[in-house]
Amino acid sequence: MLTLLAVFAPAFFQPQPLLSLATREAPTLVVACGMALVIISRQIDISVGSQFSVCGVCAGLLAASGWPLAATLPAAVATGALLGAVNGALIAGLGLPSIVVSLATMVTLRQGLNLARQGQFVNLPDGVQWFGLSQSSGQGLIVGFAVLLLVALALAMRHLAAGRFIHAIGSDAEAARLAGIRPRLGTFLVFVLMGALTGLAAMMNVVQSPQVQPLSGLGLELKVIAAVVVGGVAISGGSGNLWGAFAGLLLLACIGPALTHLRVEAYWEKAIQGAIILLAVVADGIRSRRTGP
């Protein structure tokens, strides 16, 4: 697709719009990393979009009430971790299906936020946008941090025991338990991490503009789940890696702007996204039939 763009719409490759695109998608990448871990551990979390909104509004309100960014950032991460812990406790503790639990928290958090804010924006004080830095340093910082986090998590998944545990829980929880891993604790911690990463991502989004829209993050869960699946992480758990999730997000994030450059009507965007996801799942199916038992 990138070749196609290079030929038909070279204007796509201008530094400013690309940096802007990368900055806009950096928070999504952070959430996608978390989602990859959740899916590898054979769970799913569809409440991340609502968590993202709640963390963003909380961070915005704290910043607006005069909290310094150094305190707002940990607060946003903690809020996310707390929301993740609620999911994790219900899923790992009571053994409830994650799709049902996170569906419930998704709706509850979203409606709660609507009730509290009535769609009203949070206006941020000066000095919050770009962490008070210049626009280009702020953008560089956000993108750089997201990439660093991706690399760190990807390496951890491969080389640290914790990473291998997550794979083990996802491929066969019972075997993992017999091997001395505590799958329930593992699952709980994965959800806490998911929430913390979502809180972090929300903060990375808040600092990109002078106001917070409570609706921001709506539909985020679909985007990151799609990115992770397109990136070759098996929805049935146990296999896949973060590089794949990154590639998946790269592809999905470029579609919108690419279609604008290729002068394609907006009607097609979601259809094409859907087709790509379908293609990825089909490829996954064929691959697992070949290598399967």
- Residues in contact with another protein by CB under 8 A are 9, 11-12, 14, 16-17, 20-21, 24, 114-115, 118, 120-121, 123, 135, 205, 209-211, 213, 215-216, 218-219, 256-257, 260-261, 263, 266-267
Closest separation in Å from C-beta 225 to another protein: 17
Q: Residue 263: CB partners within 8 Å, gap ≥ 6?
A: none
Q: Return the C-alpha torsion angle 267, 273, 275, 277, nearest 10.
A: -160
Q: Which CB, 178 or 266, lies closer to another protein?
A: 266
Q: Which CB, 100 or 264, lies closer to another protein?
A: 264
Closest separation in Å from C-beta 16 to another protein: 6
Q: Which CB, 20 or 171, lies closer to another protein?
A: 20
Closest separation in Å from C-beta 69 to another protein: 19
Q: Which CB, 13 or 144, lies closer to another protein?
A: 13
| Count of CB atoms situated within 10 Å of the CB of 252 | 23
Closest separation in Å from C-beta 210 to another protein: 6
DSSP structure string for the chain: -HHHHHHH-GGGG-HHHHHHHHHHHHHHHHHHHHHHHHHHTT---TTHHHHHHHHHHHHHHHHHTT--HHHHHHHHHHHHHHHHHHHHIIIIIH---HHHHHHHHHHHHHHHHHHHHTTPPEEPPTT-GGGGS-HHHHHHHHHHHHHHHHHHHHHHHHHSHHHHHHHHHHH-HHHHHHTT--HHHHHHHHHHHHHHHHHHHHHHHHTTSSEE-TTTTTTHHHHHHHHHHHTT--TTSS---HHHHHHHHHHHHHHHHHHHHTT--THHHHHHHHHHHHHHHHHHHHHHHHH--
Closest separation in Å from C-beta 67 to another protein: 20
Q: Which CB, 130 or 191, lies closer to another protein?
A: 130
Closest separation in Å from C-beta 244 to another protein: 23
Q: Which CB, 82 or 222, lies closer to another protein?
A: 222
Q: Which CB, 21 or 69, lies closer to another protein?
A: 21
Question: How many whole angstroms separate alpha carbon 32 and alpha carbon 243?
Answer: 11
Q: Which CB, 24 or 184, lies closer to another protein?
A: 24
Closest separation in Å from C-beta 222 to another protein: 11
Closest separation in Å from C-beta 219 to another protein: 7
